[in-house]
């Protein structure tokens, strides 16, 4: 009972400190004279359809029916009173609160899968995550998507343990909601399908999940087709195919920077639209993007795989530059990502920071945090590999496959905020690694003459669910 009281106090302290830190960051954003403190280059693509939805009741951008963005995040902006006196200020407050709640969910997930100690460490890592903090005050869909995906994962973990159909149905519904926020949610459906099919062999339950998800996302397919003739959920995938994936291949195969390659492809794209008298926002314009992108990628498949896999790892880079830009120490949107793709990390860092020693020093804490996070995650992953990997629980496979899939899906468009969907899972691994290392040290300290051959084996408590505060609250 005493331990549970301490656990509750530690968790409460983590949540309070996280709220204070995010509140301070929100205050910085509000006091900033620059709109860039809250907005990024992608923010207007959400704000425009949100304003149209709020004022006209139609999902449009520049009087054209919107097919690039899906309505999830714009509807969230409207629900938070985008057109009210505080503008997107309420949205930022709600996002901060959701981000603190996400820390709690990270604790619950870690406690449920491994141990209460691992859950507390995981919550601590999530509370200190700079990429999550920045996302909470930015007008972007990443934080809301990460929250929904984590809720879906928790529901699925409970389903895999309790095998209750309502939990699976709720997980499918939350996954559909997440997909309306960011279409990359379709990737998660494939992961769930693989776990249910190969680790549980429950075809009927897999069919139930897929049918519920499909029924909920189908209306937007129908809307796009009937309204503008576009047979898809979102054209953002077609845009990225040409101007990120194909541009990366074009740059690599011709010795260009990605910025030059993107400019060349944009010129070719517009010339083709002009020649065929096609509107860029029309479904035919989207089809041209898709056809051009596919043609370039299929002509250089090896280069595509090389570029896509290498650039996907950009999501694991530090997010400290976002804080520097918010504080006005540096400025973004200067082509640093292009330099990174073309000349590598060292050249990109030199290009971005120049001789600004202050900016370099300010990013050091984030680097230290990432090293600790990745080292602890790797330590736990190594401990779980080997013969036991084949005996992982379905929940374990769900976590691992989700991390791998969201790391690899980014491609040339990947930036640090792309790791937000799997950041809680990464922190569960990091928290489990710290708890494991501390437990091993304690075991060695109890018997210094014998390091204990089973110290690493016994560090994992996933086989037995502890009766903790987290479990009671989840149930």
Q: Are 71 and 59 in contact (CB under 8 A)?
A: yes
Helix (H), strand (E) at residue 60 = strand 60-61
Q: 211 by DSSP, 3-state: which?
A: helix
User: Cα–Cα distance between 164 and 130 in angstroms, integer?
Assistant: 36
**When comparing pLDDT for 1 and 109, which is higher?**
109
pTM, two decimal places: 0.89
pLDDT in tens, 309-326: 999 999 999 888 888 878
Q: Are 285 and 273 in contact (CB under 8 A)?
A: yes
pLDDT in tens, 90-126: 999 999 999 999 999 999 999 999 999 999 999 999 9
What pLDDT does residue 151 have?
A: 97
Task: Please give the structure tokens belonging to residue 305.
Answer: 């795989």
Look at residue 75 and tell me whether its pLDDT is greater than 60. Answer: yes
User: Cα–Cα distance between 379 and 419 in angstroms, integer?
Assistant: 20
Look at residue 357 and tell me whether its pLDDT is greater than 80. Answer: no
- Percent over 90 (pLDDT), the chain: 65
Confidence of residue 391 (pLDDT cuts 50, 70, 90): low
Which value, in Å, is the radius of gyration of the alpha carbons in the chain? 23
- Percent over 70 (pLDDT), the chain: 87
Least confident window among 67-76, 97-106, 235-244, 384-393: 384-393
| Mean per-residue pLDDT of the chain | 87
Per DSSP (E only), the strands in 122-170 are none
Task: Please give the structure tokens belonging to residue 334.
Answer: 């200067």
Bridge partners, 457 (sequence order):
none
Q: 53 by DSSP, 3-state: which?
A: helix
Confidence of residue 442 (pLDDT cuts 50, 70, 90): confident
User: Cα–Cα distance between 21 and 201 in angstroms, integer?
Assistant: 45
pLDDT in tens, 232-275: 999 999 999 999 999 999 999 998 888 899 999 999 999 999 99
User: Cα–Cα distance between 304 and 298 in angstroms, integer?
Assistant: 8
Span 167-192, average pLDDT = 97
In degrees and rounded to multiples of 5, residue 379 shows phi and psi of -60, -45
User: Cα–Cα distance between 467 and 4 in angstroms, integer?
Assistant: 10
What pLDDT does residue 466 have?
A: 38
Least confident window among 68-72, 275-279, 287-291, 444-448: 444-448
Q: Are 379 and 276 in contact (CB under 8 A)?
A: no
Confidence of residue 85 (pLDDT cuts 50, 70, 90): confident
What pLDDT does residue 454 have?
A: 35
**When comparing pLDDT for 442 and 311, which is higher?**
311
User: Cα–Cα distance between 157 and 119 in angstroms, integer?
Assistant: 15
Neighbours of 380 (CB within 10 A): 25
Span 211-239, average pLDDT = 95
Look at residue 449 and tell me whether its pLDDT is greater than 60. Answer: no
What pLDDT does residue 441 have?
A: 78
Q: Are 160 and 112 in contact (CB under 8 A)?
A: no
User: Cα–Cα distance between 169 and 166 in angstroms, integer?
Assistant: 5
Task: Please give the structure tokens belonging to residue 18.
Answer: 């996280």
Confidence of residue 455 (pLDDT cuts 50, 70, 90): very low
| Highest mean pLDDT (candidates 21-35, 190-204, 239-253, 319-333) | 239-253
């Amino acid at each position: 009972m005493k331990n549970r009281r301490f656990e509750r106090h530690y968790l409460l302290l983590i949540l309070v400190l996280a709220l204070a830190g995010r509140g301070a960051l929100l205050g910085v954003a509000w006091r900033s004279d620059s709109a860039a403190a809250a907005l990024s280059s992608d923010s207007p693509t959400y704000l425009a359809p949100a304003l149209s939805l709020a004022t006209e009741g139609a999902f449009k951008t520049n009087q054209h029916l919107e097919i690039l963005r899906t309505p999830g995040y714009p509807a969230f902006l409207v629900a938070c009173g985008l057109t009210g006196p505080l503008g997107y200020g309420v949205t930022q407050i709600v996002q901060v609160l959701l981000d603190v709640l996400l820390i709690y969910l990270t604790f619950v997930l870690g406690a449920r899968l491994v141990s209460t100690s691992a859950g507390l460490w995981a919550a601590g890592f999530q509370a200190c995550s700079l990429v999550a903090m920045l996302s909470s005050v930015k007008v972007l869909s990443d934080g809301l998507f990460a929250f929904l995906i984590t809720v879906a994962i928790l529901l699925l973990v409970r389903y895999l343990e309790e095998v209750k159909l309502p939990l699976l149905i709720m997980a499918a519904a939350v996954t559909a909601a997440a997909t309306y926020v960011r279409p990359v949610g379709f990737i998660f459906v494939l992961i769930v399908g693989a776990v249910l099919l190969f680790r549980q062999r429950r075809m009927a339950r897999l069919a139930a999940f897929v049918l519920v998800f499909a029924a909920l996302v189908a209306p937007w397919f129908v809307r796009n087709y009937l309204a503008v003739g576009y047979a898809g959920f979102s054209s953002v995938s077609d845009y990225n195919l040409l101007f990120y994936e194909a541009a990366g291949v074009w740059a690599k195969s011709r010795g260009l920077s990605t910025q030059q390659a993107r400019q060349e492809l944009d010129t070719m794209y517009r010339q083709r639209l002009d020649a065929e008298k096609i509107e860029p926002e029309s479904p035919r314009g989207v089809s041209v993007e898709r056809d051009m992108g596919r043609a370039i990628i299929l002509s250089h498949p090896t280069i595509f795989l090389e570029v896509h896999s290498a650039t996907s790892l950009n999501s694991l880079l530090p997010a400290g530059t976002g804080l520097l830009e918010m504080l006005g120490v540096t400025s973004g949107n200067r082509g640093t990502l292009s330099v990174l793709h073309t000349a590598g990390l060292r050249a990109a860092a030199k290009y971005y920071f120049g001789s600004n020693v202050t900016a370099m020093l300010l990013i050091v804490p984030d680097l230290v945090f990432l090293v600790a996070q990745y080292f602890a995650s790797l330590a736990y992953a190594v401990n779980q590999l080997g013969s036991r990997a084949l005996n992982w629980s379905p929940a374990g496979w769900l976590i691992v496959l989700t991390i791998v899939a969201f790391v690899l899906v980014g491609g040339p468009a990947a930036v640090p905020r792309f790791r937000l969907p799997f950041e809680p899972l990464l922190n569960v691994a990091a928290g489990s690694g710290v708890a494991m290392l501390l437990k091993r040290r304690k075991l060695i300290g109890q018997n210094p003459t014998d390091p204990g051959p089973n110290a690493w084996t016994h560090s994992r408590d996933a086989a037995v669910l502890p009766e903790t505060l987290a479990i009671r609250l989840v149930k």
